[in-house]
Structure 1
Amino acid sequence: MNRRTLLIGAGTLLAAGTGLSAWRRAAGSMADYEAYSAQLRAAMTSDIADVIRYAVLAANSHNTQPWRFRVTGEAIDILPDFARRTPVVDPDDHHLFVSLGCAATNLATAASASGRPGEIAVLPDASGVRYAFASGQPRPEPLLAAIAKRQSTRADYDGRTVPAADLAKLQAAGAEPGVNLVVVTARAEMAKIGDLVIAGNSAQMANPAFMRELEQWVRFNPRSVMEMGDGLFSAASGNPSLPTALGRIAFDHVISAASENDRYARQIASSAGLAIFIGDEATSAHWIKVGQACQRFALEATRLGLKLAFINQPIEVASLRPELARLIGTAKRPDLVLRFGYGPTLPYAPRRPASQVLRS
C-alpha cells in the first residue's frame, strides 16, 4: 500500500524553455482537478451507486483500485480485478486483498448509513468479500464523514504527540479478530523501523522492474489523472504538475534513492507514531481482515484530525520482514506499516466512477 514521490524541484528544472500556455494545456488545471475531486467526495445519497462511490474511496496499493463490485439482490460482492495487479511490488497479491478489505469497511459504513444494515463476510473460497444487507432505517455512522476526508498524506508532519485517550481510540478502531495491531510511539523504536523503511526503499529503487511498474502508475498532471481516474498523482505528494513527457524524464533522471531516503527519514521523524498490522495467517482471507482493520484505524485517525501514510517497504522486501517482526515482537508476517501524526491536507487522489467498477 505504498506511495512514492518525485523531487519537488523537477518542475522548475524542466519548465525552462517551455511556454507557459503550452505547459498549462499539456498539464491541465488544478482548479479543474479540485472540482473533479470535490464531486468524488460529495455528500452521499441513498442510491446504491453512491454507496459504492464511497466504498472506492478506500485505501489501496498504488491507487490501482483493484476491485469490481457486483450487486445481487440484497448483497454486494467486492471481487478482485487481477488486471490491476502490481506483480513486482506485490507478487502474492497481498496488497490486492488488503485493498478489498479496506473497501469492505467503507462499503459497510456507507451502506449502513444509507439504510442497508448488514454484515461483512469473506467469500467461502476467499476470492472476495460479501456484504449481505437488509432494508432498514439509515443509521448514524460516526466514521461516515471521515471516508471523504481520509487520504494518504505523504508530507512532513509537525511532530506533536497524540494524546493517550486518542491512541486508545485508534487501538479500538483497529481491533479485528485474527489481526494484531502494534502501535509504536517510542522514538528509538520508530527510528529502527525507519532504518528498515530506508533499506527497503534502497532495494526497490535499485530494481529496474520495480521502477518500471511504479512509473506506470504515476500521474504527473491534473489532465492525465482526470482522464485515467487512478494512479499516484504527483501533486498529492506536494510536487508540481508536469506534462506527462517531462514527468517521465523527471522520473527517470531526477529521482534518486538518496533524496527519497532523506525524505522518508525526515517524514518518519516528524510522525507521532507508527502502526503495524499483523494477520494471524498469511492467507487472502486474513489479508482482507487486515484491510478492514486498517481502514477503520485510518477513518478513526481522520476523525481525530490525524494524517496517515503507508511506509510498507519492510513488508514488500521479503528479506526485511523477519527483522521487522523481531522489532515488534511477533513470529508472524507483518502485513502493513503506517505512520501517523498531525499534518497538512494535500490534493486528494483520484478515483474511477462507480459505473466503471460495477459488474453484472
Structure 2
Amino acid sequence: MPIEFAVDEHVTRLAERVREFVREVVLPEEQACDGVLHDGPEPLRRRLQQAARDAGVFAPHVAREWGGAGLDLRGQAVVFEAAGYSLLGPLALNIAAPDEGNMHLLAKVAGEEQRKRYLAPLAAGEVRSCFAMTEPAPGAGSDPRALATTATRVPGGWRIDGRKWFISGADGAAFAICMARTGGVPGDAGGATMFLVDAAVPGMQIVRTIATLDEGLFGGHSEVVFDGCVVGKDAVLGEVDRGFDYAQVRLGPARLTHCMRWLGAARRAQDVALDRAATRSAFGRPLAELGMVQQLIADSEIDIEAARALLWRACWELDQGRPGAQHTSIAKTFVAEAVHRVVDRAVQICGALGISADAPLARLYREVRPFRIYDGPSETHRWAIARRATKARAALR
C-alpha cells in the first residue's frame, strides 16, 4: 500500500484558518506574556479557547461526537504544525499536552460513563488534566517498569500511595490519570493499572512546582504525592494490570503530536532567521548573500523537510493500524534534535538579537531543549531503535 502524502482539501482549509487565527489572535497574546504559562493564567486560556471556537478551529483532533473535527494523525500533523507556530497556539486549540494525549487515551480505553464524566468536559475545554506516571529515582522515568507507586485493594476500591514528579499541567488540573503498581515489583514488565483520580480526592497533593528551563506549559511541572488516596472501583481506567499496555496507546501518538507542535515552532524560528537575513547587512551585503549564513539557512530547511517526512510516515503507519513503535521512535528522536538545531541556527543568524527578548528565539530555545528528554530521551529511543533493528535482522537469518 503506497504512503499517501497528499493532504485532504478540508485539512488544508482548516490548517489555513489555523494559520490566520494564530497570526491575528494568538501571537499578540503570546507577545504580551512572553509565552510564560507555568503559573496557569486561566483567564488567558479561556479567552484563547473561546476565540478558537469562534474561528471554528477548536479541538480538531477529537471525534465529532465530542465537538471536534475527528482528524486522523496525518490530518493532525498538518493542523498541529500550524498551531505550533505560536507557543500559545496548541493551548488555544485545546491540543496541548498533556490534555491532548489524555483525550486520545480516554477515547480509546475509558468506559461510556468515564467518557461522559472525564472526556466530555476535557474535550470541551471546561477542565484540564494531567498524566501522573514519572517518579523520582529510582522510580519510573525513561524505564516505566521501575514504577514504584502502589495501589492496594481496600473495601470499595483502591488506596494509592507514592510520589510523582515532573507531572505536566498538574497545577489546576481537575483530574489525574495515575499509573500505580497493582502487581509485581519495580522492574517487572506488568502489574500496572491506570486510575482516574479527581483533584478533590483526599490524599492527592501537589507539594511543589518544579522550576524548569521551559516555562511555556500551562500549569508547569509539579511534584505530586499520593498518600492514602482512596478511590472507588469505578476509578480504574480500562482493566487492572493492563496499565503498561494502555500507556503505549497514549505515548506513541502523543510523541508524534509533540513533534507536530514543535515543528511549527521550528518553522517560526526559521522565518525569523530568514527575515533577519534579508534585512540585516554586514560587510556591505545582506546576510542572506553570505555563504556561511546560506549554509545555516539551507541546513534548517533540510531539517524541517526531513522531520516532516519522518513524522508523516509514522502517522501513516499508526493511521493504518500498523505497529508503529519503530517509526514513532525514529520520528521523535530526529524531530526533537532537528527542531533544536533549527532554533539554534536561527539564534546564530540573528546574533545579539537572537539571544535577546526583542525576538522570540531565546524563548523558543528554552522551550524546545527539554523535548530531547520529554517523552523518552533520545538515548532511550536510540537503544530501542537499535534493539528492534537487530532483532528484525536476526529473524531473517
TM-score over 0.5 (shorter chain): no
Larger relative helix fraction: 2
Instruction: Classify the TM-score, shorter chain.
Output: under 0.3
Tell me the TM-score normalized by structure 2: 0.24
Tell me the TM-score normalized by structure 1: 0.26
Bigger Rg, structure 1 or 2: 2
